[in-house]
Amino acid sequence: MPKPFDEAHAATYDQHFAALAPMRDALQLVTGLALGELPAGARILCAGAGTGAELLYLAAAFPGWRFTAVDPSGPMLRRCRAKAEAAGVADRCRFHEGTVEELPGEAGDHDGATALLVSQFLVDRAAREAFFRAIAGRLRPGAPLVVADLAAPSLSGELIALWKRAWLHAGVPPEQVARMAETLAEQVAVLPPDEVAAIVAAGGFDEPLRCFQSILIHGWLARRSASP
């Protein structure tokens, strides 16, 4: 079993998600709509950019925007950079291997941000809140953040059953789907949606607006508070 976001995991990450592409495509579309108020030349912080899914989508949709891709996983970020180069958008991107807390720059130096499927891996609640506080620190007041995370009212409910069925439908072998369910319980903080929203708000954002759901994947639009 690869460690999360190591070389082996990064090498298969895109392929793993390809089977459920319509769910991811819908999330990208809503993310673009939620950030779409921003002007040409906007600076977007992609926290946990991974292999670049949202960065590449937004860079194509908004040709004037510039991006800061932040991710502590070298293998994931290398793939993000390679894809940005292949797509001809790397000159609008800055890549930072590390966390948002460690990102060189100044307070409020971004106009918008994304954190898609990232904070769920911060199982310690204080660390999860600190992640959002670091993002808030790099946004100007009122700036939009799109967050998506796995969330569910409980770990044994019908939503989890539907999630497993989605992966079986995508052709993932049953034993692997069973392991996935264990991983959800042990390595991912799958909290009730309102609790995730409360963590985002505690990090320095006004009450997040829930604007997306596809089975377990919940999405919110949050605005950086006037005084975080």
Ligand X SMILES: C[S@@+](CC[C@H](N)C(=O)[O-])C[C@H]1O[C@@H](n2cnc3c(N)ncnc32)[C@H](O)[C@@H]1O
Angle at 145 between CA 141 and CA 148, to 5 degrees: 155
Helix (H) or strand (E) holding 27: helix 21-35
| 71 makes contact with ligand X (CB under 6 A) | yes
How is residue 84 written in tokens?
């940005």
Given candidates 61, 97, 121, 210, which one binds ligand X under the rule CB under 6 A? 121
Q: Are strands 66-71 and 43-47 parallel, antiparallel or unpaired?
A: parallel
Cβ atoms 115, 135 nearer than 8 A: yes
Tell me the per-residue interface mask from 36 to 55 with ligand X, x by CB under 6 A, - otherwise: -----------xxxx--xx-
Closest distance between ligand X and the C-beta of residue 143, in Å?
Answer: 18
Closest distance between ligand X and the C-beta of residue 111, in Å?
Answer: 19
Cβ neighbourhood burial of 193 (10 Å; 0-12, 13-18, 19+)? middle
Strand blocks (E) in the chain:
43-47, 66-71, 93-97, 112-116, 144-150, 209-214, 217-223
Closest distance between ligand X and the C-beta of residue 79, in Å?
Answer: 9
- Of 66 and 78, which CB lies nearer to ligand X in the complex structure? 78
Distances (CA, A) of 132 to 24, 49, 125: 22, 15, 11
Q: What is the DSSP string of 57-69?
A: HHHHH-TT-EEEE
Given candidates 62, 65, 67, 131, which one binds ligand X under the rule CB under 6 A? 131
Given candidates 35, 38, 56, 76, which one binds ligand X under the rule CB under 6 A? 76
3-state secondary structure of 186: helix
Q: Which one of the spans 105-113, 116-124, 164-172, 218-226 is the region binding ligand X (CB under 6 A)?
A: 116-124
Task: Tell me, by CB under 6 A, how many residues bind ligand X.
Answer: 19
Tell me the per-residue interface mask from 83 to 112 with ligand X, x by CB under 6 A, - otherwise: ----------------xx------------
Residue nearest to ligand X (CB): 50
Closest distance between ligand X and the C-beta of residue 167, in Å?
Answer: 15
| 118 makes contact with ligand X (CB under 6 A) | yes
Q: For binding to ligand X (CB under 6 A), which residues are involved? A: 5, 47-50, 53-54, 70-73, 76, 99-100, 116-118, 121, 131
